[in-house]
Amino acid sequence: MGNELTCTLIHEGKSFCGKALLETSELLFRGEKRLKIALGSITAMTARDGELHLRTKEGLAVFRLGPQAEKWRKKIAKPRSVVEKLGVKAGQSVSVLGTSVDEFIESLRKQKCLVGKGKIAKDAVWIFLAAAKKQHLRRVPAITPSIRGTTALWIIYPKGQKTISEADVRSAGLKVGLVDVKVVSFSATHTALKFVMRVAKH
């Protein structure tokens, strides 16, 4: 979801200052106290007077978010699908490269997208490359000529792995003249980084 706010957390009768980060599957708090709440563990939730109240079997956590409290409640209650977060619209042509993306491909087809697997369609609006290891980024130079106009490349890679890092992914794009413009939590285990062609300066 990519939402981050400086706020106050009330937990176990104490107040803590820090930052709250709303991710796809969890809400994190980092600061004077560290707290992680899996969204699936929330048993009750309300937003009132600028406060987001979340109850789990471990107890109650109150986040003082101001005007964002109700917005966060709605996002937790009805999260956007990964396809929506990536900006893919129904009927668009999408090319998917790499392995272990069958579930994602199925989500694209449910969205009535025209999905090409293993090769890049001439009219592709979106190109997705699943890179489990740094070596998989060697495909980026061959993909680059297909990124023109409004076409964009999303590179999907695992979180917290030594075999590939965000720096590796960003470097692979920059080396071929692309620029990264957006990052999305693709799943609990993967991140997606979006690249487009660099706009020439005149």
Same domain, 57 and 157: no
* Contact predicate 152/196, CB 8 Å: yes
Q: Which tens digits make up the pLDDT trace of 111-144? A: 899 999 999 998 999 999 999 999 999 999 999 9
160 is in which domain, residue-wise? 82-197
Same domain, yes or no: 134 and 86:
yes
Task: Kindly report the backbone phi and psi dihedral angles of residue 76, in degrees, each rounded to the nearest multiple of 5, phi listed first.
Answer: -70, -40
* pLDDT score recorded for residue 1: 46
Is the per-residue pLDDT at 103 higher than 50?
yes
Q: What is the DSSP letter of 39?
A: G
Final residue in a domain of this structure, among 77, 97, 123: 77
Three-state DSSP state, 58:
coil
Last residue of a domain, one of 45, 77, 109: 77
The pLDDT-based confidence of 106 (bands split at 50, 70, 90) is very high
- pLDDT band of 100, cuts 50, 70, 90: confident
The verdict on 59 and 123 lying in the same domain is no
For 60-91, the pLDDT digits (tens) are 999 999 999 999 999 999 888 889 889 999 99
Instruction: Assign 201 a pLDDT band (cuts: 50, 70, 90).
Output: low
Question: Which two three-digit tokens encode residue 61?
Answer: 């956590």
Residue 10 has a pLDDT of 97
Q: What pLDDT shows up at residue 200? A: 60
d(CA 128, CA 98): 8
pLDDT in tens, 154-190: 999 999 889 999 999 999 999 999 999 999 888 878 9
Asked if 111 and 190 sit in the same domain, the reply is yes
pLDDT of residue 196: 95
